[in-house]
Structure 1
Amino acid sequence: MSSRAVLEVIALDAEDAVAAQAGGADRLELVADMAADGLTPPVDTFAAIRAAVDIPLRVMLRLADGFAAGDTDRLAEAARRMRGAGADEFVLGFLDPHGGVDLNAVKLLVGELDGCAWTFHRAIDRAADRDALRKQLDGLPGLDTYLTAGAAAGVDDGLSTLLTETARSGESGYEPRIMVGGGLRLDHLPGLLAAGIDAFHIGGAARPTGWQGPVSAEAVSQWRTALDTTP
């Protein structure tokens, strides 16, 4: 079994996906509309990306900016459409108005996913009680990853939380892998890797010209090399 750290890259289209894979990405997160922090992409975009690359793809299930589920019937329909098109990994996460997990919305979608692997995304960084959220989601089918910076403002603010949660790996609610993303920089990697974190997520860091420009294979390769060569 390889000990290689997982590198996930945000892709908006097939061009991004091809560049990310060429640079050494292990997995893609597929989204649309980064101005709204990433929404569910069109099915035809998923199909084009799926045809262009052979690495795993996780599709965002989110209809509007913010962390409220909104119209759960539309969310469920989006999940069914993506499943029908062949999607088999997903990203989701919803909070109620008080900062607790919206368990009804999450469970509804998990039911639609029918055992598919999924990530609970950075909604955890806005949660009123991270530990309570993890305990409530514990045991849901397919939940294998938390995408988190440890804090709403990003990794700089969340480092201590990331290290604390990593140290609890294996406890109830702490079995899913921690994937670090959100203000992540190359200089964060040595400390995170040394703590045992083995999954990393980049978006803007893969796009030297900003979100209006494409993913750069060279930028992704820089991260791949750093992950593979850091002691």
Structure 2
Amino acid sequence: MSIVSTPPQTDQPRPHRAPLLEVVVLHPRDVPGADEGGADRVLLLADPELGGTSPEPALVSSVCRETELPVRVVLRLSSSSTTTGAELVRLVGLAESYRSVGAEGVAFGFLDDQLEVDVEVCAHLAGQLPGLPWTFHRVFDDALETARAWREVSRLPGLDAVLTAGSVLGLDSGLDDLTARAAASPGVAALVMASGGLRGEHVPWLVRAGIRQFQVATSVRPGGSWQKAYVDAGHVRSWRMLVDDAVAHVERLEAGRSAG
């Protein structure tokens, strides 16, 4: 991908929103690195090689006891982008178990057999979990028609983030499309949680487009390994500083334009 020479611009200043840095964790031993490095939230999952599945409630409880950070947990029983009625019943039960042991929210998201956002299923599941905020899983990037997918997720109850790289291939391929969509729509920008091959050089472009939510996973593990290294506080701190500096820089520019 060739990054354009000028970041996306908008005619209207965007409302200032605090940046959010979410760190993916697999077990309690990952939590200290996220905590000490300055993460705002952690996302707990099992089977990262499958894109994340639901962990056991006992593991969720252990992670929640390790930190005062908000903990979200993946609600997903397999690597499939679809689900069934029987699975939905189980997912609701898991979510209630997660909430009872301290989880702040969950992450799920399903498509139908036409590769469109399964609004009915997602709305049903969200409706069964009143008051529990949630993130749309990165299966969002598998949707066939991106513009329609954004229209559909924007009306789902309780949703406050969409994991996306702008492309199923990751941010190196999807950055231009994602920043263009976010710059054109504050509603999209408010929901985007940039994820999927996120690199430091992507952050300023995403921030200029109005995006303030970021998720990091293997990039905060020495060697980039899920299995051979825990989340490292120094790696998380580097992302914390990068995101905060990028947001502060953009807000100074916007304040200068408003004053002028």
Query: Could you tell me the TM-score, scaled by structure 2's length?
Result: 0.82
Q: Pick from 237, 245, 259: which aligns with 1:229?
A: 245
Contact 1:79–1:112 (8 Å) recurs in 2? no
Query: Which amino acid in structure 2 is aligned with residue 10 of structure 1?
Result: V
- Report the structure number with the largest CA radius of gyration: 2
Q: Pick from 166, 172, 196: which aligns with 1:150?
A: 166
Match of 1:129 in 2: 145
Match of 1:211 in 2: 226
Q: Please give the residue correspondences for 1:73-92 in structure 2 after superposition, counting only pairs within 5 Å.
A: 73-92=89-108
Gaps of 5+ in 2: 1-14, 250-260
Deviation at 1:2, TM superposition (A): 7.7
Q: Pick from 90, 108, 114: which aligns with 2:130?
A: 114
Deviates most, 161-170 or 6-15: 161-170
Cα distance in 2 between the residues matched to 1:115 and 1:131: 28
Q: Please give the residue correspondences for 1:141-180 in structure 2 after superposition, counting only pairs within 5 Å.
A: 141-170=157-186, 174=188, 176-180=190-194
- Secondary structure of the structure 1 residue equivalent to 2:103: coil
Match of 1:10 in 2: 24
Deviation at 1:4, TM superposition (A): 4.0
Cα displacement string for residues 15-70 of structure 1 (whole angstroms, at most 9, x for unaligned residues): 11221111111111110111211111111111111111111111110000131124
Contact 1:79–1:109 (8 Å) recurs in 2? no
Match of 2:46 in 1: 32
Deviates most, 135-144 or 210-219: 135-144
Q: Normalized per residue, which structure has more helix?
A: 2
Cα distance in 1 between the residues matched to 2:49 and 2:163: 19
Query: Could you tell me the TM-score, scaled by structure 1's length?
Result: 0.92
Cα distance in 2 between the residues matched to 1:2 and 1:169: 15
Deviates most, 208-217 or 73-82: 73-82
Is the alpha carbon distance of 1:134 and 1:190 closer, same or farther for their aligned partners in structure 2, counting shifts above 3 Å?
closer
Q: Is 1:54 aligned to residue 72 of structure 2?
A: no
Is the alpha carbon distance of 1:175 and 1:224 closer, same or farther for their aligned partners in structure 2, counting shifts above 3 Å?
closer
Provide the aligned length of Structure 1 versus Structure 2: 229
Deviation at 1:74, TM superposition (A): 1.8
Cα distance in 1 between the residues matched to 2:90 and 2:166: 30
Gaps of 5+ in 1: none
Deviation at 1:77, TM superposition (A): 2.0
Is the alpha carbon distance of 1:112 and 1:85 closer, same or farther for their aligned partners in structure 2, counting shifts above 3 Å?
farther
Deviates most, 180-189 or 124-133: 124-133
Deviation at 1:12, TM superposition (A): 0.8
- Secondary structure of the structure 2 residue equivalent to 1:59: strand
